[in-house]
Structures are given as C-alpha cells and as structure tokens.
Amino acid sequence: MATTRASILAAAAICGLCLGSETKVQMKDLPPAVQKTVAEQSKGAIVRGLAKEVEDGKTFYEVELKVKGRTRDVLIDPTGAVVSVEQEVALDSIPAAARAAIEKGAGKGRIVLVESVTAGGKVYYEAHVKTGAASSEVKVMPDGGPVAK
C-alpha cells in the first residue's frame, strides 16, 4: 500500500512538472501573428522545432533554429513580438571582460556552450558549464558584471 501511494505521489509530481513544460507544436498551430514572426526570423535558417510554453501564467512560443551551424532560439509572445533571442556564439567572440568572468565562474568546469542573449533591449552572455556530472550556468553582462535578476 505504501509503495502504491508513493508511486501515485511520484506520478502526480511528475505530471505537475509537465504542466509547466513546453509542448511541441506545428506551424499551423501557431497564432497568425506568431507564424509571421517565425517566417521572418527563420529566413536563411533551418527550423529545428516549434514549441508552446507557459511561464508564470503567460503563453510564449519558441522557434529553435540552426543558422550557419549554430543554434538560435527565439521566444515570441502571442502578438508576434520577439521577447528574447538566444544565439550560440564562440567564447572568443564576446567582450574580454565577459569572457574572463565566464572563465572565472566556470572554475574547473568545462564550458560546453556560450550564448548571447538579447531580452528587453539588453544583451548578456550565458555559458553552460559541465563539472563532472553536474551542469550549471554562468550569466554575465558584457562588462563582466552579474546579470540582474
């Protein structure tokens, strides 16, 4: 009985997590304004996926692109406005202060991906770091300072 109850609770917890996750969609499932933005943003790129996600009760759409061999994710609101763009970049292409802060933040970890993130008219850099089995992120402004939350 205890095992069954634990299984039910575990399944409920997983389903609760599913509610906040993204759902894969097709172009025809997107609102017309979002379809237009996806078409504009994907010119010269390969569309790798489309998703609908809900964050803090707000619905967004994400298009995953491949541009010249690098990833580019564009988050779009239901009106078709671009909310944020995450673009894979080379570590040596970002400002020296940001690069130094990322390398310091990564410590002994291995930097596996660096992205330029543009949101709210501001740009910052996000590095994905692998240390053993653990994964983490280091986010810094172009001047090397921390990203305000």
Query: What kind and span of H or E run contains 111?
Result: strand 110-119
pLDDT tier for residue 20 given thresholds of 50, 70 and 90: low
State what percent of residues in the chain have pLDDT above 90. Answer: 83
Which two tokens mark 4? 């069954």
How many CB atoms sit inside 10 A of residue 48's CB? Answer: 13
35 contacts 27 by C-beta, under 8 angstroms: yes
Per-residue pLDDT, 82? 97
Q: What is the pLDDT of residues 36-73, one digit of tens each?
A: 999 999 999 999 999 999 988 999 999 999 999 999 99
Q: What is the CA radius of gyration of the chain?
A: 18
Q: Which two tokens stand for residue 148?
A: 């305000």
**Distance between CA 43 and CA 32 in Å, rounded?**
17
pLDDT of residue 22: 83
Q: Mean pLDDT over residues 106-124, rounded? A: 96
Sorting pLDDT into bands at 50, 70 and 90, what band is 12? very low
With 0-12 / 13-18 / 19 or more C-beta atoms within 10 angstroms meaning exposed / middle / buried, residue 143 is exposed
Structure confidence at residue 21 as a pLDDT band (50, 70, 90): confident
Which of 72, 93, 90, 91 is closest to 82 using CA atoms?
72
Residues near 78 by beta carbon (within 8 Å), at least 6 away in sequence: 31, 33, 34, 59, 60, 61
Q: What is the pLDDT of residue 3?
A: 37
Task: Report pTM.
Answer: 0.80
pLDDT value, residue 136: 96
pLDDT at 149 over 80: no
Q: Is the pLDDT of residue 16 over 80?
A: no
Share the mean pLDDT of the chain.
88
> For the chain, what percentages of helix, strand and coil (3-state, to nearest 5) are there?
30, 45, 25
